[in-house]
Amino acid sequence: MPCIKKRSSKIKKKKETPIVDMEKVLRETFSLKDFLNCEKTSQILQDNWYLDFTSKYEGKLEELYETERKYFRENISTLFYYDTDGTFVSHLKEILYKHIKPKYDLEVFYENPHLAMPLIDKIENLKETNLLEHQKNIKETYKKHQENTENDNKKTWRSE
155 has a pLDDT exceeding 70: no
97 closest CA partner among 51, 64, 38: 51
Which tens digit of pLDDT belongs to each residue from 110-134?
998 889 888 888 877 777 777 777 7
pLDDT given for residue 99 in this prediction: 92
Q: What is the mean pLDDT of residues 134-158?
A: 72
Condensed to tens digits (0 to 9), the pLDDT of residues 63-106 reads 998 888 888 888 877 777 778 788 888 888 999 999 999 999 99
Q: State the CB neighbour count (10 A cutoff) for residue 54.
A: 13
pTM summary value:
0.61
Angstrom distance (rounded) from CA 28 to CA 109: 13
pLDDT at 144: 80
Q: What is the pLDDT, as a whole number, of residue 157?
A: 54
Query: What secondary structure does DSSP assign to 6-44, as a single string?
Result: PPP-PPPPPPPPPPP-HHHHHHHH--HHHHHHSHHHHHH
Residue 12 has pLDDT above 70, yes or no: no
Per the model's pLDDT, the better-predicted residue between 155 and 126 turns out to be 126
For 22-58, write each residue's pLDDT tens digit: 888 888 888 899 889 989 999 999 999 999 999 999 9
pLDDT average, residue stretch 7-17: 57
CA distance 73 to 84: 8
Cα–Cα distances (Å) from 159 to 39, 147, 155, 156, in that order, read 62, 19, 6, 5
